[in-house]
Amino acid sequence: MDTLWKDRKRHFGLPISLTRYSLVGGDGPRVFREVGLFNLAEEEVLLYRVQDLSLKRSLWQRVFGVGTIALHSSDKTAPVLELVNVARPREVKELIFARVEAAKEARRLRTTELLDGSDAEGGAEL
């Protein structure tokens, strides 16, 4: 398991938190959120299950150069996994997006988004 990215939740732009985030590659690429010091709680989302990514940046987050990335997935235990106050949020979001697409391609998954009963290109539904 190779770590492609890791960070901590930041306060005032500084990584002084017990919440850690990581993106790992390998056979089952995943995003992890680990919280705690003595009692650890860990959540993970398999990248091929991610359906959508969103980025939110409040005024204070922009001032300190951080943002919140939300991974919306089909995972039952963590349908939305938020990576709160990460540094360089746009770069991280694009890295995760690229890895999500690669994971879906590796598994040969194809999803169709329906808009008014047809897909975005006007083709037939699958």
Q: Where are the domains of the chain?
A: 3-106
Bridge pairing between strands 41-46 and 3-8: unpaired
Which residue has 């290109």 as its token pair?
Answer: 121
Q: Tokens 């930041």: give the residue.
A: 10
Side chain identity, residue 115? L
**Cβ proximity of 30 and 48 under 8 Å:** no
In angstroms, the CA 113 to CA 117 distance is 9
Average pLDDT estimate for 54-62: 97
Q: What is the CATH number of domain 3-106?
A: 2.30.29
**Among 30, 88, 19, 89, CA closest to 54:** 89
d(CA 70, CA 68): 6
Taking 90 as the threshold, does the pLDDT of residue 118 lie above it?
Answer: no
pLDDT of residue 27: 82
pLDDT at 26: 83
* pLDDT at residue 100 tops 70: yes
Predicted structure pTM score: 0.82
